[in-house]
A and B are shown apart, each in its own frame.
Chain A
Amino acid sequence: MTAFNWQSELARDGSRVFVAGLPVAMHCHHYNINLQKTLEDTLGDEGIQLLFHSAEEANRIGFTSFFNEYRQLKTNKSKLEMAAVIYQNSGFGIIHLQGVNRQGGTILSPSSHHVTGWLAKHGLRDTPGCHFTRGWIAGVLEAVFDKPAGHYTIEETHCKMMRDKECVFQVTGV
């Protein structure tokens, strides 16, 4: 698999921080979870959609640019493997993308920044809460398989925020 050199790809230009040339910011679980709770509490389902679409759009654009840069990633399998490495190196947790293809499939996540942060701040939920990760998955798959925004539906069927053993995402292509 093509190596991703995190040492050189996480870089600064003055006060700005970049990963593989894309501007990023570091935030902790307090902010990420506060934003999620604010949107959910204020807008309900519309807030959940906004969390999903914001992550989807940022990831679709970001990974499309990234794959154009990393031309040595030729197969969809290698692109998905790289995406999982970047997810882990971005501090979002562990995600297994092996069970998904162009049509859809199942994705597992045994460890997650948002789960850890949500449980630390608010405890267990009654509903799945990994909206960021759902959007992240949708954006990655759209970039890998060259699909437009909104092509994939991502349902979280199990969530560690609800005391499930791991987070499970069912992916369905339109």
Chain B
Amino acid sequence: MAIDGSKIVHAVMEGSRIRESKGIIPLFGVYLSIASVQYYNTLSFEFENKLRGERAAEAEALLVKAAQECGYATFQGIRNSWEWGEIVKPMIETKEDQIEGFTAVSVAFGWGDLVVKELIPHEKLVIRVTDSYEARGHLEHYGMTESGKCYMLRGVAGAFMDLLYGDDYPDGCFDYSAQEPFCRAKGDPYCEFVARKSSD
């Protein structure tokens, strides 16, 4: 059975309307919040601006690292959650199907229209996004640039491979890493993330 992303999107949309009495949204094994994309984009791009020059590469690396650690813990929680077991697991036939489940959750969270273009087990993952909130935000508020700007999605792509083919949780984070060779923020028609085994 193929993964039906619409069922996952529906579950997230319905679940994220449920609040417990303390104003926390517990869903898919994590505490969710709903915030303006402008907040996240300002944080990332102004952080990068503050470290521009000699520390520019450090800013990029730190933002990707923060996202990859998050993606690793988040999707580990998600795939062990009650909701995953009820909604997604019945649709999973192969280990690789998990990636489709992860991308459907990402779409549901409003991160972009993620599509898996290629998956070679243990080797390579290619995810394409034509409307990432990071690239859109950069274009709207900072204009065109010369390098990829979707640091969150780049980290998350690496985390997906870590969870499938890295060492057992929690030792596999950063076993894989992703690059963003194409990004709408630099004029490409879409953003693309390529995750491969990290070089030591």
Contacts and interface: CB of A to CB of B under 8 A. Distances in A.
A107 interface: no
Interface string A41-71: 0110011001101110111011000000000
B16 A10 contact: yes
B74 A30 contact: yes
Contacts of B13: 10, 12
Contacts of B50: 43, 46, 50
A113 interface: yes
A10, A29, A55: residue with the most chain B Cβ atoms closer than 10 Å: A29
Given A10-B34, A24-B36, A31-B66, A88 B23 contact: yes
B12 interface: yes
A6 interface: yes
A64 B11 CA distance: 31
A30 B38 contact: no
B190 interface: no
Interface in B126-140: 131, 133
Contact of A23 (B37, B43, B46): B37
A76 to B, nearest CB: 22
Contact of B43 (A29, A50, A111): A50
Contacts of A113: 23-24, 31, 33
B32 A26 contact: yes
A35 B43 contact: yes
A117 interface: yes
Contacts of B25: 91
Contact of B30 (A30, A34, A37, A50): A30
B33 A90 contact: yes
A75 interface: no
Q: How large is the interface on B (under 10, 10 to 19, 20 to 34, 35 or more residues)?
A: 35 or more
A31 B74 contact: yes
B63 interface: yes
A27 interface: yes
Contacts of A3: none
Contacts of B107: 15
Contacts of A88: 19, 23
B66 A38 contact: yes
A54 B42 contact: yes
A24 to B, nearest CB: 5
16 contacts: A12-B9, A14-B131, A19-B34, A22-B36, A25-B111, A26-B34, A27-B33, A27-B40, A27-B70, A28-B74, A34-B70, A37-B66, A46-B50, A59-B36, A91-B33, A113-B24
Interface of A: 6-7, 10, 12, 14-17, 19, 22-32, 34-35, 37-39, 42-43, 46-47, 50-51, 53-55, 57-59, 61-62, 87-94, 110-111, 113, 116-117
Given A24-B34, A29-B31, A61-B38, 18 more contacts: A6-B17, A10-B13, A10-B16, A12-B9, A16-B131, A23-B133, A25-B111, A25-B133, A28-B31, A31-B152, A34-B66, A37-B66, A50-B47, A58-B39, A89-B19, A91-B19, A93-B22, A113-B33
